[in-house]
Amino acid sequence: MNNLFRIGILGSGKGSNFAAIADAVAAGKIPAETAVVLGDVETAGILAQARERKVPAQFIPPGKFRTKLDEDAERAFVTALQNARVDLVVLAGFMRVLKGDILRAFEGRIVNIHPSLLPCFPGLESWRQALDHGVKVAGCTVHFVDAGVDSGAIIGQTAVPVLDGDTAETLHQRIHAAEHELYPRCVAAIARGEIAVVGRRVIWKKP
């Protein structure tokens, strides 16, 4: 058995960020193993993509709520992540707020990507919120997950200029492309032990 850093990825959607991370792992840019992919939507592209890449993938029914996991489901996610001996939980388009068990079991070891320059525009469809607000610079943020919504310490951000001709769709596409570069870079830095958390600040030892 090797000592590689192990990542577990949670998603609900198509999984393009998972694919970017898996590509970076395969290219040796992230010194880690993608140990497991878990999804709360049986038909999610992320689970199909994981299976195609021979990464263990599992659907876990989310339970009775719409925006969070019920207690049994959250426990099942924790068990699956612990069985896969995961060092870092990577949320890649996981559409449920994490509440109790997972946060306790993986305290300080859960990261998320959000399609805005936080703390602006938390919540849903942030690219549309940014466009509607009229900002000139949008972007994406990788952050640690805490008990709030999109509120944990910020690990990395990429700015994406808003163009005069942008629609919500074109802006979203460019933000998505920026995510595919930012997320693997942040996960690689964590896997290499190259970041330190000082209060709310995340310091990159090797910028």
Contact residues: ligand GRF, CB under 6 A: 11, 13-17, 46, 92-93, 113-115, 176, 179
| C-alpha distance from residue 154 to each of 4, 8, 71, 117, 162 (Å) | 25, 20, 28, 10, 22
CB 175 within 8 A of CB 138: yes
CB 11 within 8 A of CB 92: yes
Judged by CB, which is closer to ligand GRF: 75, or 128?
128
* Least Cβ distance, residue 3 to ligand GRF (angstroms): 28
* Least Cβ distance, residue 15 to ligand GRF (angstroms): 5
CB 99 within 8 A of CB 74: yes
CB 91 within 8 A of CB 10: yes
| C-alpha distance from residue 207 to each of 151, 152, 189, 196, 203 (Å) | 23, 20, 9, 12, 9
Judged by CB, which is closer to ligand GRF: 96, or 114?
114
* Least Cβ distance, residue 50 to ligand GRF (angstroms): 12
DSSP label of 153: P
Catalytic annotation, pick one of 114, 143, 172, 176: 114
Catalytic site residue 114? yes
* Residue position matching structure tokens 């199909």: 48
Judged by CB, which is closer to ligand GRF: 6, or 139?
139
Name the residue with the smallest CB distance to ligand GRF.
Answer: 93
Judged by CB, which is closer to ligand GRF: 75, or 157?
157
Q: Which residues are catalytic?
A: 114
